Structure 1
Amino acid sequence: MATIYSCKECGANLNLNTLHLFPPDFYFEAGNKNTVSFSEIDSTKFKLEKEDKIRPFFETLNYWGIQRKRIKIKCDSCGFLLGYVYDDGPPLTNTTGQLHMGPSQVIPRAPRYRFKTKALQIASET
């Protein structure tokens, strides 16, 4: 039984494979509701768009704010926003980290493609 993921806006098949789906109890998925994350995607079905946004939390002469850099995942056919790319996936190395205390944020990490379930049309194929 295969699962087909399509864009909710235009109905285009996104060619997402359930073999690359992270389990819902994985360490970064536990608190995320209404999202599904994949370790790999078919890059021909998506547009990846960089976003660099500064959100001010107070204004002074120097205009302080919080800078947020992220990458949007959009449908290649219609441009509908489907989710975001995060770099907090599993470590690319199989080490336990510095002093054997778990993976560090310094270790290069695999990208995680997180999709909003409300932006996807999920259907089962028998």
Structure 2
Amino acid sequence: MATIYSCKECTTNLNLTTNRIFPPNFYFEAGNKNSLSFSWIDPDKFKFENEDKIRPFFETLNYWGIQRKRTKIMCKNCGKLLGYVYDDGPPLVDTPGQFHFGPSQVIPRNPRFRFRSKALVLTSDS
């Protein structure tokens, strides 16, 4: 039994697989309520648009910033905004981080594809 993720606007199958989804207790999922994060997506199903805003933003209570750089993920069929690409996935290298304080911004990281739950329709393929 497989789960099929589709665009809520046009019901296009987005080819997202459950074996590429991050578990809900993963380190960055604490502040991401009502969203699903994937480690890989099929780039042929989506359009991408860069976003660069300079204004305060809050991801969680302890994580905030001034400049937000991220990439919008939109449905290639209808253009609806589905989520964003972040560069805070698991580290690309196995290292304890700067001064052994854990992963930081200086360590290159894998992309994380975060989709809003209300932009997706989940159906089961029996």
Give the TM interval when normalised to the shorter protein: 0.7 to 0.9
The equivalent of 1:125 in structure 2 is 125
The equivalent of 2:33 in structure 1 is 33
**Could you tell me how far apart the structure 1 residues matched to 2:67 and 2:103 are?**
25
Unmatched tracts of structure 1, length 5 or more: 57-65
Query: 1:35 is aligned with what amino acid?
Result: S
Return the structure number with greater strand share.
Answer: 2
1:66-86 deviations in Å (ceiling 9; x for gaps):
543221000000000000010
Q: What is the root-mean-square deviation in Å for CA atoms of aligned residues? A: 1.5
The equivalent of 1:96 in structure 2 is 96
The equivalent of 1:110 in structure 2 is 110
**Could you tell me how far apart the structure 2 residues matched to 1:68 and 1:105 are?**
14
Give the TM-score, by structure 1 length: 0.86
Give the TM-score, by structure 2 length: 0.86
Q: How does 1:33-52 map to 2 (within 5 A)?
A: 33-52=33-52
Question: SS in structure 2 opposite 1:40?
Answer: coil
The equivalent of 1:53 in structure 2 is 53
Question: SS in structure 2 opposite 1:30?
Answer: helix
- 4+ residue runs of structure 1 moved beyond 4 angstroms? none
Query: 1:82 is aligned with what amino acid?
Result: L
For the pair shown, the structure with the greater C-alpha radius of gyration is 1
**Could you tell me how far apart the structure 2 residues matched to 1:113 and 1:51 are?**
15
The alpha carbon displacement at 1:120 in A equals: 0.2
**Could you tell me how far apart the structure 2 residues matched to 1:98 and 1:51 are?**
28
**Structure 1's 23 and 55: CA in aligned 2 closer, same or farther, altered over 3 A?**
same
Percent identity over the alignment is 72
The alpha carbon displacement at 1:105 in A equals: 1.5
The equivalent of 2:4 in structure 1 is 4
Unmatched tracts of structure 2, length 5 or more: 57-65
